[in-house]
Amino acid sequence: MLKFFNTLSEKKESLKPRHKKRVQLFVCGPTVYDYSHIGHARTYLAFDCIAKYLSRIGYKTYYLQNITDIDDKIIERAKQQHTTPKTLARMFEKLYHEDERKLRITSITKYARATDYIPAIVRQVKTLLKRGHAYEIRKDGYYFDLATFPRYGALSRRTSLQAEDAVSRIDESLQKRNKGDFALWKFSKRGEPYWNTELGKGRPGWHIEDTAITESIFGPQYDIHGGAIDLKFPHHEAEIAQQESASRKHPLAKYWLHTGFLTINGKKMSKSAGNFVTIRDFLSTHENAALPFDATTLLRYFILSQHYRAPIDFNEALITHARQSLITFLDFEKRLSSYAGKTLKMHQGEDRRMTTVRNTIFKQFEAALENDFNTPQALGVIFDAMHTMNSKMDTGRATRNDVIHIRTLLTSLYELFDLRFRTVSIPKEVKSLVTQRESARKEKQWQRADMLRVQTSALGFSIEDTPQGPIIHPTYQ
Ligand code: AMP
């Protein structure tokens, strides 16, 4: 039975969706004012894989994501760049989708822009006003009154008095009733975009867009809410306060899943701190034609080989390690194919025993995923199985079933992580270097020939000199 660690209960709980085999999943989307970085990729790849896994094990998964396309940060950045918030937001939204396509994030059923849900936002603020949970501060906006929601802080185990937080976006106003009260609707200031609504000319606060969107699409309650750990407080607390006060239904979401941070030198990678590696930079830096997999496969493996809740401190040594692991899979498969070609017919009598072994390994693999989507544990099962298989191949004891089962296991992993392998084709540049080296050798220019070999090797290819001429091999380094 699939279990997730629910931040709300701080326990691993069996997944029991509200509508049997249907799962409604909402994950906080990006604020579109800059390029997405690999910290975003960490969170979005984790949820992409979780959503695909849910579908794979038979749930009909509706994955909803909002796009924050109006916000203080967008307005500020647009001013700096002498453009309008809308133009800026649309541009970065487009780039965000491009990045997602490159990362093969394809599980999202619907994207919902905040600005497309203004009527729903207004409706929700009006309900909160009517029910006494919101109040107006003149020339400022409408605020949520935290004193009317005693459950506030249940998710993060904090109180409204602890609303100061280095990573939080706090709405400041001296006239707030309680320190942690947050803006639902902000009256327009000069030069800022606004919507002329029953609440007056203004724009939504950050938290209300999510609940207005989820209420419009899922209703007042749904199954899973996700995001990175920074959003737990105050953003997710604010969502709970708004929606549960508006609907008087509890809980807003049954399960709260939070991804760990991707940090760099121990600090959260973030747009505002400026310490980020964009997804596109990562992909172009790590794309290497000499490798049998693309940079997306490398990033997917790197991120998904860590548990989604664990923090990752990004550095190049970890990427090198991920690259090496992918090469290990391919080397293992090569050995497997060669073994299967040469040896297999000799061992066909063990089918029943091997089926049991296969089941045990598969069960372990599945059990790891069912255990709070523990992908590193699932990988551990695979590495152990490869180790056992290598020993069996060493002594010629591996059977046809062994080969089939380990291949099936590897295929399950590739499908789960969406890892894709390719045949390495020799780039023109490398072919040309090798041809030049051949000429240099014929002319006995040994130094030049050596230099050309070094250049070829720097591009990830080695040269084997044979009586029939040079053969080029990728070196996978
Ligand atoms: P933002 O655009 O900054 O609002 O972030 C969009 C999503 O990415 C949210 O779920 C964030 O919590 C998540 N996120 C942002 N930075 C990181 C990071 N360094 N590590 C993991 N997740 C992150």
Closest residue to atom 17 of ligand 1, CA basis = 39
pLDDT tens for 96-155 read 999 999 999 999 999 999 999 999 999 999 999 999 999 999 999 999 999 999 999 999
Among 128, 253, 240, 131, residue whose Cα is nearest residue 184: 128
Q: Which atom of ligand 1 is nearest to the CA of 27?
A: 10
Better-scored residue on pLDDT, 64 or 423: 64
Closest residue to atom 15 of ligand 1, CA basis = 40
Place of tokens 């090198």: 320
Q: Are residues 53 and 189 in the same domain?
A: yes
Pocket test for ligand 1, best of 40, 231, 309, 312 (most atoms within 8 A of CB): 40
Place of tokens 């910290």: 39
Q: Are residues 305 and 387 in the same domain?
A: yes
Which H or E element spans position 25?
Answer: strand 22-27
Q: Are residues 299 and 440 in the same domain?
A: no
In a domain, 273, yes or no: no
Instruction: Give CA separation, 379 vs 197, 302, 382, 410, in Å.
Output: 53, 12, 5, 10
Domain boundary residue, one of 197, 226, 259:
259
Q: Are residues 399 and 457 in the same domain?
A: no
Q: What residue type is assigned to position 88 of the chain?
A: L
In a domain, 423, yes or no: no
Among 146, 250, 136, 251, residue whose Cα is nearest residue 207: 146
Q: What is the pLDDT of residue 400?
A: 86
| Angle (CA) 362 367 370, round 5° | 130
In a domain, 168, yes or no: yes
Q: What is the pLDDT of residue 125?
A: 98
Question: How far, in Å, is the centroid of ligand 1 from the Cα of 92?
Answer: 15
Domain boundary residue, one of 259, 293, 313:
259
Judged by phi (left if over 0) then psi (alpha if -120 to 50, else beta), residue 197 lies in beta
Q: Are residues 124 and 244 in the same domain?
A: yes
Is 312 in contact with 42 (CB distance < 8 Å)?
yes
243 lines ligand 1 (CB under 6 A): no
Locate the DSSP E strands across 159-296: 183-187, 195-197, 200-204, 222-228, 253-259, 262-264, 267-268
Q: Are residues 413 and 432 in the same domain?
A: no
H helical segments located in 69-158? 72-80, 85-102, 118-130
Phi, psi for residue 289 in degrees, rounded to 5: -60, -20
Q: Are residues 189 and 112 in the same domain?
A: yes
Closest residue to atom 10 of ligand 1, CA basis = 227
Q: What is the mean pLDDT of the chain?
A: 93
SS3 of 27, please?
Answer: strand
30 lines ligand 1 (CB under 6 A): yes
Of 130-134, 261-265, 275-279, 405-409, the one with minimum mean pLDDT is 405-409
Is 398 in contact with 335 (CB distance < 8 Å)?
no
**Cis previous bond, 30, omega within 30:** no
Is 21 in contact with 282 (CB distance < 8 Å)?
no
Instruction: Give CA separation, 45 vs 143, 171, 246, in Å.
Output: 34, 30, 32
Counting the structural domains of the chain, the total is 3
Q: What residue type is assigned to position 329 of the chain?
A: F
Place of tokens 């790590």: 286
Question: How far, in Å, is the centroid of ligand 1 from the Cα of 228?
Answer: 6
β pairing state of 200-204 and 183-187: antiparallel
Q: Could you tell me the pTM of the whole model? A: 0.92
261 lines ligand 1 (CB under 6 A): yes
| Angle (CA) 437 443 448, round 5° | 45
In a domain, 408, yes or no: yes
Among 442, 430, 428, 438, residue whose Cα is nearest residue 465: 438
- pLDDT above 70: percentage of residues in the chain: 94
Q: Are residues 84 and 227 in the same domain?
A: yes
d(CA 321, CA 323): 5
**Tokens at residue 48, please?**
């992409």
Place of tokens 């550095």: 315
Mean pLDDT across 87-100 = 98
41 lines ligand 1 (CB under 6 A): no
In a domain, 422, yes or no: no
236 lines ligand 1 (CB under 6 A): no
In a domain, 241, yes or no: yes
Question: How far, in Å, is the centroid of ligand 1 from the Cα of 313?
Answer: 15
Dihedral over Cα of 352, 357, 361, 367: its sign? positive
Q: Which atom of ligand 1 is nearest to the CA of 261?
A: 20
Q: What is the pLDDT of residue 112?
A: 98
39 lines ligand 1 (CB under 6 A): yes
d(CA 155, CA 6): 10
Question: How far, in Å, is the centroid of ligand 1 from the Cα of 140?
Answer: 28
Q: Are residues 107 and 249 in the same domain?
A: yes
71 lines ligand 1 (CB under 6 A): no
Q: Are residues 315 and 362 in the same domain?
A: yes
354 lines ligand 1 (CB under 6 A): no
Question: How far, in Å, is the centroid of ligand 1 from the Cα of 410?
Answer: 31
**Tokens at residue 124, please?**
């929700």
Q: Are residues 240 and 386 in the same domain?
A: no
Q: Are residues 220 and 179 in the same domain?
A: yes
pLDDT tens for 414-425 read 999 999 999 998
SS3 of 210, please?
Answer: helix
pLDDT exceeds cutoff 70 at 82: yes
CATH number of the domain residue 252 falls in:
3.40.50.620
In a domain, 439, yes or no: yes
Instruction: Give CA separation, 294 vs 217, 229, 326, 420, in Å.
Output: 36, 29, 11, 8
Pocket test for ligand 1, best of 26, 43, 169 (most atoms within 8 A of CB): 43
Domain boundary residue, one of 368, 396, 417:
417
Q: What is the pLDDT of residue 168?
A: 44
pLDDT exceeds cutoff 90 at 165: no
Contacts of 149 (CB under 8 A, 6+ apart): 133, 241, 244, 245
Q: Range of 315's domain?
A: 279-417
pLDDT tens for 334-387 read 999 999 887 665 444 455 554 555 578 899 999 999 999 999 999 999 999 999
Q: What residue type is assigned to position 357 of the chain?
A: V
- Report residue 389's pLDDT band, with 50, 70 and 90 as the boundaries: very high
- Report residue 401's pLDDT band, with 50, 70 and 90 as the boundaries: confident
Mean pLDDT across 307-329 = 97
Q: What is the pLDDT of residue 282?
A: 98
In a domain, 450, yes or no: yes
Closest residue to atom 12 of ligand 1, CA basis = 228
